[in-house]
Amino acid sequence: MTQTTANHLFGPLDPAAEAGYPDHPPRLGFFTDTTVCIGCKACEVACKEWNNVPEDGIDFLGLSYDNTGSLGASTWRHVAFIEQASIEQPKPLGAQEPGVTGRHAPVVDLGMPSTAPPGTTAGADGRTEFRWLMSSDVCKHCTHAACLDVCPTGALFRTEFGTVVVQQDVCNGCGYCVPACPYGVIDQRKGDGRAWKCTLCYDRLQGGLTPACAKACPTESIQFGVLDELRERAAARVEQLHAAGISDARLYGADPTDGVGGAGAFFLLLDEPEVYGLPPDPVVTTRDLPSMWLHAGAAALTLLAGVVSTFWGRR
């Protein structure tokens, strides 16, 4: 039974301490406030530049401005563009309540024809109103990380900051971590075979620097800091949005009692997680390993007892 899986059964943990860092800095992470994301993709560019992540193609997906599509071995930050039909057109958040910063996800008139999808309204000029939900996705750096549980070489390790990093010089390309991730984040690079993902700029953290993506974000949609402080800030932000009449605002990945023990990178969303391509109830995929080993052990002991009794009876 691994440390991660064992502690999944017994409640929240300090992942750095469990990994063998008795005196470690506070756990660090990301809080992404999607309500102020403008889809500029500065985070994607900064991530690639700092981490020397190769270009992975520029493929425009249908009518979307999302040219990366999803996270992968060569996309450690992915800015999702979700074009969503909207019945109502809310005012900017700052206009709804004085002194409130940030803004609601905008309803953008894309000049679409009058053949509106069911449930949407078209203006007098025959154009349909849409809104874009934008969100910069990244590895969640789970508290209970299944990728750590299944890695046979120790290529994946927990850092003193509580984050999860892949050591490419140790990775043998087995790919076990790929299906283990409940978010589909980690991936193998074509022509390479090794696993790659966000490191939360581990080299920058060691130097006391902010990760490249958060440093480059012009609207502070990506906020970096001590995880406990980010959770408090995020909860206050949700209350602020609810008070302003934006009832759909909710946190994703901030709950330390969820199926992965809380994420090291969590999000403020304006719709259901599925809309953003996120699983609604993520669960560490190795949660059943302890019971599986117990059943396997019991079966082995039963078999051994049967063999012994057979040979003993022949004497």
CB burial readout 102-140, b (16+ within 10 A) else e: bbbbbbeeeebeeebeeeeeeeeeeebbbbbbbbbbbbb
Name the DSSP letter for residue 127: P
Strand, coil or helix: what is 256? coil
Query: In the chain, pLDDT over 90 holds for what percent of residues?
Result: 61
Domain-located, residue 106: no
Q: pTM above 0.85? A: no
Q: Which residue(s) pair with 222 in the sheet?
A: 32
**Averaged over 290-295, what is the pLDDT?**
43
Residue 252 is part of which domain span?
A: 3-82+137-295
Confidence category of residue 298, pLDDT binned at 50, 70, 90: very low
Is-contact 19 158, C-beta < 8 A?
Answer: yes
Task: Report pLDDT digits (tens) over 89-102.
Answer: 445 444 444 333 43
Among 120-124, 158-162, 264-268, where is mean pLDDT lowest? 120-124
- pLDDT given at position 2: 44
In whole angstroms, give the CA distance from residue 142 to residue 282. 10
Residue from 118, 124, 121, 117 nearest 107 by CA: 121
Residue 54 has pLDDT above 70, yes or no: yes
In whole angstroms, give the CA distance from residue 194 to residue 189. 6
**Averaged over 108-137, what is the pLDDT?**
56
Among 119-123, 223-227, 272-276, where is mean pLDDT lowest? 119-123
Task: Return all residues near 204 (Cβ < 8 A) that are at least 6 apart.
Answer: 50, 210, 211, 212
Residue 261 has pLDDT above 80, yes or no: yes
In whole angstroms, give the CA distance from residue 158 to residue 261. 15
**Averaged over 211-228, what is the pLDDT?**
97
Higher pLDDT, 183 or 118: 183
Domain-located, residue 302: no
Among 145-154, 163-172, 301-310, where is mean pLDDT lowest? 301-310
Domain-located, residue 252: yes
Backbone CA torsion sign across 47, 50, 56, 60 = positive
- pLDDT given at position 58: 67
Cα angle for residues 170, 175, 180 (degrees, 5° grid): 110
Higher pLDDT, 287 or 174: 174
In whole angstroms, give the CA distance from residue 308 to residue 312. 6
Residue from 225, 250, 39, 226 nearest 136 by CA: 39
**Whole-number mean pLDDT of the chain?**
80
In whole angstroms, give the CA distance from residue 78 to residue 121. 31
Tell me the one-letter amino acid at 296. Answer: A
Residue from 268, 220, 278, 272 nearest 35 by CA: 268
Domain-located, residue 111: no
In whole angstroms, give the CA distance from residue 26 to residue 278. 27
For residue 290, the Cα-to-chain-centroid distance in whole angstroms is 25
Domain-located, residue 11: yes
Residue 194 has pLDDT above 90, yes or no: yes
**Averaged over 43-68, what is the pLDDT?**
82
- pLDDT given at position 117: 39
Six token digits for residue 268: 């403020």
- pLDDT given at position 71: 92
SS3 for 189-248 is CCCCCCEECCCCCHHHHHCCCCCHHHHHCCCCCEEEEEHHHHHHHHHHHHHHHHHCCCCC
Q: What is the CATH number of the domain that holds 246?
A: 3.30.70.20
Domain-located, residue 96: no
Confidence category of residue 73, pLDDT binned at 50, 70, 90: very high
Residue 287 has pLDDT above 50, yes or no: yes
**Averaged over 137-145, what is the pLDDT?**
96
Cα angle for residues 110, 111, 113 (degrees, 5° grid): 125
Residue 79 vs residues 24, 27, 82, 270: alpha-carbon distances, Å: 32, 25, 10, 15
Domain-located, residue 272: yes
Confidence category of residue 256, pLDDT binned at 50, 70, 90: very high
Domain-located, residue 103: no
Residue from 86, 95, 81 nearest 123 by CA: 86
Instruction: Count how many domains the chain has.
Output: 1
